[in-house]
């Protein structure tokens, strides 16, 4: 029997209370994962709730895996497949595979990611003959998503609309939903909504799942959105056997629909709830907690509380100002090298956190230069790489013949001579027959296309049909291997004699190894099981903390993790905090900073730069240091300032005025000294010009005459560009 002696009073109370609902406010580092795992163990050992009747929901697959491992280590004799632990999305997907037929779907449905959704929108916008720049796919998708998350249907949106634009938006939304069903596909939001329709319309299915999940635990409760709360309510609203853990100070997913009122609603839905607060922190030093609290306490809507710890004061928070992002990176690398040599630290002890993925580049460069091993989470994710998505699209099409998005992706990859015109004809046929594109290929013979195209089309159809017929009996990895052989993918990448293409092939090989691993671990799994697994996997899930390397990731990704030493970078206005529209946004940025700080056990470095390049080689912007820094008491800060000769002054930065004019704070007073001359005019060598994208530059050479002239311009940051006078839209500035 495991006992709870290693728990404090509140933790023990949270574990032992299993009769009435429990709402745990668990501050950062207060041992909530330990409470949740101990509670699961306790539920099983109390013999009231067998393992297979417990549902535990976490925020990431990684957290789920960790929890499973921990429970298993405490209950070695337990059958490991009996516990239901997973994210909302993966649990919903599992349910929907079984219940698809109730909902107008087939169990082989595909899960669409954001890119697939965007493509769907683009197709719709094109078909409706709307202006693609006005109806931006990304925007539309996020509008649709927030409507879905607020249970607003296309019809309701149309009724609410105040102008033609919004009406059109509702039309696109409606078509988008139709397409999802026609393609037998669900996006991430639909995955959460469909179980609610099932529970609402089929009471006997609801009853089944209520019996199935007799005790429910929810982690990171502050990040749940409305559909997720409804899901919990359906399952636990009746029996009231539920424990949720959350921390309002760590709510950082408001932009994704996370709804902090879910905490208030909890007490309404579960009126007898016990509220337990875990306020002792076991992770960080006193200084770290103080700095974290000094920022988050400025939030307006916040239940007042302060974590405390028995740990030492620890070292001061180091605050470093750098010239630019390269200097910042250099400082970080030198500190890690120093600490690695003298403090007996491993590389795995360090994490470098930033607000946006784009910031990783400069740091990576310096790490490569210093030959320090690092692993990066996020950014261009493995499963978002083109070559990976191409292979997966084939597999998705094999699993689900209605998936037109995947069809379009692979029908001419590798190129086999099926272009737009041919596919358009096929598409019209599919529309007439009310079939998917692949299904309509059955009628290739009667299409008005050239014989060569007919031949290729038939071959393609046979290829997919053939692999499909094997997909139920053979493991996914074999299907994948046959596919790659059939389409000669290896030759396609390796015959081009290009390093990039060879890299792509390496990635495909890594994908195959991944599929193989999955098949070994899940011998019963079919192709669609593998596909579901990949669709819901995040980059974080692939991150391996056993490897001894520095971790680079966004603050969002870092939630739930801990490291001895943490660098929080880019602490500048308009970066961290990022663009802020209202007080609510700023509150969330403060919580984000709080999350970043509380990842650290021993030491925090805060860094900011005077100048930062926003895009590739753009002129650097002048950056103000973050207001968060000013909220930290100076007595716990150890500030390393820039040497006086590196401080900004017009002497060191001849273009300072220009940069300031281009930065946010200086936007109001555009540079007055330069006279702007409209039109093409006469370009001369050494002429100073202004470009919309690259800013101010100097003309190096001119080829040709008039509007067709090719002009080579040197822009700030050693960027050379060859531009055509007619299109470049260059403005002449007096030199």
Partner DNA sequence: AAGCGAATACTTTTT
Partner DNA sequence: GTATTCGCTT
Binding site for DNA (CB under 7 A): 59-60, 87-90, 113-115, 122, 132-133, 136, 138, 188, 252, 255-256, 355-358, 361, 378, 380, 386, 412, 415-422, 453, 536, 538-540, 553-554, 556-557, 578-579, 585, 615-618, 692-693, 721-724, 727-729
- 32 an active-site residue? yes
d(CA 515, CA 392): 11
Least separation in angstroms between residue 107's CB and DNA is 20
Token pair listed for 603: 């030491």
User: Would you say 405 or 636 has its CB closer to DNA?
Assistant: 405
d(CA 496, CA 492): 7
d(CA 587, CA 608): 20
- 647 an active-site residue? no
Least separation in angstroms between residue 720's CB and DNA is 11
Catalytic residue among 12, 32, 320, 613: 32
How far apart are the two ends of the chain, measured CA to CA in Å?
83
User: Would you say 44 or 218 has its CB closer to DNA?
Assistant: 218
User: Would you say 428 or 693 has its CB closer to DNA?
Assistant: 693
Checking 696-703 for CB contacts under 8 A at 24+ apart, the result is 696/619, 696/655, 696/658, 696/733, 697/721
Angle, CA 310 vertex, CA 309 and CA 312 arms, to 5°: 100
d(CA 217, CA 53): 11
Least separation in angstroms between residue 449's CB and DNA is 8
d(CA 689, CA 711): 11
User: Would you say 462 or 724 has its CB closer to DNA?
Assistant: 724
Q: Which residues partner with 567 through β-bridges?
A: 352, 605
Q: Which residues partner with 603 through β-bridges?
A: 565
Cβ burial of 604 (10 Å; 0-12, 13-18, 19+) is buried
Catalytic residue among 4, 17, 33, 286: 33
User: Would you say 197 or 382 has its CB closer to DNA?
Assistant: 382
d(CA 378, CA 558): 11
Least separation in angstroms between residue 241's CB and DNA is 24
- 33 an active-site residue? yes
DSSP assignment of 3-32: --TTS-HHHHHHHH--SS-EEEEE-TTS-H
Q: What is the DSSP letter of 677?
A: E
- Look at strands 621-622 and 611-612 and give their pairing: antiparallel
User: Would you say 165 or 255 has its CB closer to DNA?
Assistant: 255
User: Would you say 364 or 486 has its CB closer to DNA?
Assistant: 364
Q: How far is CA 11 from CA 66, 280, 496, 646, in A?
A: 19, 10, 61, 51
- 599 an active-site residue? yes
User: What's the order of all strands across the beta sheet hosting 550-554?
Assistant: 374-376, 550-554, 350-354, 563-568, 600-609, 317-322, 637-640
Cβ burial of 369 (10 Å; 0-12, 13-18, 19+) is exposed
Catalytic residue among 526, 599, 601, 696: 599
User: What's the order of all strands across the beta sheet hosting 710-715?
Assistant: 676-677, 731-733, 688-691, 695-703, 710-715, 719-724
d(CA 697, CA 718): 10
User: Would you say 134 or 462 has its CB closer to DNA?
Assistant: 134
Catalytic residue among 116, 220, 247, 403: 220
d(CA 446, CA 269): 60
DSSP assignment of 177-224: HHHHHHTTEE-HHHHHHHHHHHHHH-HHHHHHHHHH--EEEESSGGG-
Would you report the helix, strand and coil content of the chain in percent, each value rounded to 5? 50, 15, 35
- 219 an active-site residue? yes
Least separation in angstroms between residue 1's CB and DNA is 35
Least separation in angstroms between residue 721's CB and DNA is 7
Least separation in angstroms between residue 62's CB and DNA is 8
Candidates 98, 24, 81, 85; CA nearest to 58 is: 85
Candidates 315, 326, 289; CA nearest to 607 is: 326
Least separation in angstroms between residue 463's CB and DNA is 16
Least separation in angstroms between residue 576's CB and DNA is 9
Q: What is the DSSP letter of 580?
A: -
Least separation in angstroms between residue 83's CB and DNA is 18
User: Would you say 338 or 361 has its CB closer to DNA?
Assistant: 361
User: Would you say 140 or 288 has its CB closer to DNA?
Assistant: 140
Question: Residues with catalytic annotation?
Answer: 32-33, 219-220, 250, 599
């Amino acid at each position: 029997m495991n006992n709870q002696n290693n728990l404090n009073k509140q933790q023990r109370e949270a574990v032992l209370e299993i009769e009435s609902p429990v709402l745990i406010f668990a501050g950062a580092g207060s041992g909530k994962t330990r409470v949740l795992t101990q509670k699961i163990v306790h539920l099983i050992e109390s013999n009231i709730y067998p393992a297979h009747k417990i549902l535990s929901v976490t925020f990431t697959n990684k957290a789920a895996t960790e929890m499973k491992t921990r429970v298993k280590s405490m209950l070695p004799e337990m059958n490991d497949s009996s516990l239901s632990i997973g994210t909302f999305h993966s649990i919903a997907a599992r349910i929907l595979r079984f219940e698809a037929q109730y909902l107008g779907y087939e169990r082989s449905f595909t899960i669409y990611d954001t890119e697939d959704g965007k493509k769907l929108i683009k197709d719709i916008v094109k078909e409706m003959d709307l202006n693609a720049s006005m109806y931006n796919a990304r925007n539309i998708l996020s509008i649709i998503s927030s409507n879905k998350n607020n249970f607003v249907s296309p019809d309701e949106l149309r009724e609410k609309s105040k102008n033609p634009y919004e009406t059109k938006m509702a039309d696109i939304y409606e078509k988008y939903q139709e397409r999802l069903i026609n393609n037998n596909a669900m996006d991430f939001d639909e995955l959460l909504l469909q179980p609610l329709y099932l529970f609402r319309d089929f009471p006997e299915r609801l009853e089944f799942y209520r019996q199935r999940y007799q005790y429910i635990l929810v982690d990171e409760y502050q990040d749940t959105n409305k559909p997720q709360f409804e899901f919990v309510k359906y399952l636990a609203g009746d029996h009231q056997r539920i424990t949720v853990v959350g921390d309002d100070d760590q709510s950082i997913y408001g932009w994704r629909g996370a709804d902090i009122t879910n905490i208030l609603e909890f007490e309404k839905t579960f009126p007898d709830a016990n509220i337990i607060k875990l306020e002792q922190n076991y992770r960080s030093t006193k200084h770290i907690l103080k700095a974290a609290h000094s920022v988050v306490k400025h939030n307006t809507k916040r239940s007042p509380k302060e974590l405390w710890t028995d740990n030492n004061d620890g070292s001061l928070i180091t605050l470093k100002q750098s010239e630019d992002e390269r200097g910042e990176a250099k400082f970080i690398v030198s500190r890690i090298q120093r600490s690695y040599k003298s403090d007996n630290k491993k590389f795995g002890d360090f994490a470098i956190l930033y607000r946006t993925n784009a910031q990783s580049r400069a740091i990576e460069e310096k790490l490569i230069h210093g030959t320090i091993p690092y692993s990066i989470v996020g950014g261009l994710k493995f499963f978002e790489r083109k070559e990976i998505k191409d292979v997966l699209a084939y597999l998705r099409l094999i699993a689900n013949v209605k998936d037109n998005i995947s069809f379009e992706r692979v029908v001419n990859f590798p190129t086999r001579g099926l272009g737009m015109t041919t596919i358009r004809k096929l598409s019209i046929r599919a529309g007439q027959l009310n079939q998917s594109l692949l299904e309509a290929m059955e009628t290739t013979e009667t299409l008005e296309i050239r014989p060569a195209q007919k031949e290729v089309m038939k071959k393609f159809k046979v290829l997919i049909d053939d692999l499909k017929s094997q997909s139920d009996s053979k493991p996914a990895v074999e299907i994948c291997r046959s596919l790659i052989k059939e389409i000669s993918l290896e030759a396609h990448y390796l015959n081009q004699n290009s390093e990039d293409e060879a890299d792509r092939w390496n990635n495909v090989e890594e994908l195959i190894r991944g599929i193989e691993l999955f098949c070994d671990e899940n011998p019963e799994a079919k192709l669609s099981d593998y596909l579901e697994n990949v669709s819901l996997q995040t980059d974080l899930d692939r991150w391996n903390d056993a490897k001894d390397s520095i971790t680079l990731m966004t603050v969002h990704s870092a939630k739930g993790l801990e490291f001895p030493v943490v660098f929080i970078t880019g602490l500048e206005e308009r970066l961290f905090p990022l663009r802020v529209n209202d007080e609510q946004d700023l509150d969330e940025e403060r919580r984000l900073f709080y999350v970043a700080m509380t990842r650290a056990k021993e030491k925090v470095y805060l860094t900011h730069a005077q100048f930062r390049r926003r895009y590739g080689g753009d002129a650097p912007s002048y950056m103000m240091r973050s207001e968060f820094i000013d909220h930290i008491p100076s007595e716990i800060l150890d500030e390393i300032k820039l040497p006086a000769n590196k401080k900004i002054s017009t002497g060191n930065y001849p273009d300072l005025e220009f940069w300031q004019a281009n930065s946010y704070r200086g936007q109001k007073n555009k540079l007055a000294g330069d006279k702007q001359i409209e039109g093409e005019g006469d370009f001369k060598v050494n002429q100073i010009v202004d470009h919309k994208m690259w800013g101010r530059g100097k003309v190096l050479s001119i080829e040709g005459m008039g509007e067709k002239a090719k002009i080579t311009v040197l822009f700030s940051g050693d960027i050379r560009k060859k531009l055509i006078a007619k299109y470049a839209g260059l403005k002449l500035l007096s030199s």
